Amino acid sequence: MKKVLGKGIHALIPGSVDEGGNFFFIGIEKLHPNKTQPRKTINQAKLEDLSASIKEKGILQPLLVRPIEDGYEIVAGERRWRAAQRAGMREVPVVVQDLGERESLEAALVENLQREDLNPIEEALAYVELMKQWGLTQEALSVRLGRKRSTIANIVRLLQLSPKVQQLVSKSEISAGHARALLVLEDFQSQEALAEEIVKKGLSVREVEHQVKLVQSRLYKKRKPDPDPYVIDIQNKLERSLGAKVKVSLKGKRGSIRISFFDLNELDGLIKRICS
């Protein structure tokens, strides 16, 4: 499958972008916003600027829409539609495509990514929704959108942050770089406490990474129990017998034994010693 992100919606949905004046004007009241629109917030200052530009020069690129029961749903161009309303326009140019829900979501996501209209959390939610809708892996989605798999993975991981921290990212109060540094902290309370410090003190990403290490160190010392002499004795006996690193975990009457090996030859030797 071809990479499409750098080529726009035209590459994603052939015929969706006007190439020969194949569009018509339609009344603004017949258009409806896309209910699967990845972008949840709109920068009002930028919308005002776009409205002023439209009032002076008109809409230079038609909106991509799809037919629905009570008119047309906007697939790409919602900001142009809203700005046109502010500019007092009664009609806008559109190109109509008969798209399904999933194609509509994908096209809206591609346009927003190209225009950098999404905050990191909106982008992450859109990726997850697309993978769910299409039944795709991150690798398959990366091919479909023309984005690196690692980029998609790093963005999606932001959804592991606490809801409060995600909101700060959405509002651009902390950056995606700050957010990725906070992901190392597993508990929400620690994430939120450090996120508040970022906002108050304007910490850099490097400073946050340093703070995260300090928090981890404190949490480790707090959680680390005194070694059980009985467990240590069992580990030592098993290590001497097996010739490998052994970790014994005991909780009440239950527990587990973890045996480490460095290569397949060592694994074969361990199997032989255990089975004999």
Provide the residue-wise pLDDT of the chain in tens; the chain has 276 residues. Answer: 333 333 343 433 334 444 444 678 989 899 988 776 666 666 677 778 888 888 888 888 888 888 888 889 888 888 888 888 898 989 989 988 888 877 777 777 777 676 666 789 988 888 888 888 778 888 888 888 778 888 889 999 999 999 999 999 998 899 999 999 999 998 899 999 999 999 999 999 999 999 999 888 887 666 656 677 888 888 888 888 887 888 888 877 788 898 888 777 778 878 888 887
Q: Which domains does the chain have, with CATH numbers?
A: 5-151 (3.90.1530.30), 161-223 (no CATH), 229-275 (no CATH)
What Cα–Cα distance (Å) separates residue 183 from each residue in 94, 190, 210? 43, 10, 13
End-to-end CA distance of the chain: 53
What Cα–Cα distance (Å) separates residue 276 from each residue in 65, 184, 241? 71, 43, 12
Residues ≥6 apart with Cβ < 8 Å to 22? 95
What Cα–Cα distance (Å) separates residue 105 from each residue in 36, 100, 128, 172, 247? 6, 9, 12, 24, 48
Backbone phi, psi, residue 74, to 5°: -75, 120
76 membership: H or E segment, kind and range: strand 71-76
Asked if 48 contacts 19 with a C-beta cutoff of 8 angstroms, the reply is no
Active site residue 78: yes
Using CA atoms, how far apart are residues 81 and 29, in angstroms rounded to an integer? 10
Asked if 94 contacts 28 with a C-beta cutoff of 8 angstroms, the reply is no
Catalytic member of 78, 111, 122, 123: 78
Asked if 64 contacts 72 with a C-beta cutoff of 8 angstroms, the reply is no
Residues ≥6 apart with Cβ < 8 Å to 124? 155, 156, 157, 158, 159
Model confidence, pTM: 0.55
Structure tokens at 275: 């089975």
Using CA atoms, how far apart are residues 123 and 159, in angstroms rounded to an integer? 10
Tokens 């902290």 belong to residue:
185
* Residue-level pLDDT at 116: 62
Interior CA angle at 265 toward 259 and 271, to 5°? 50
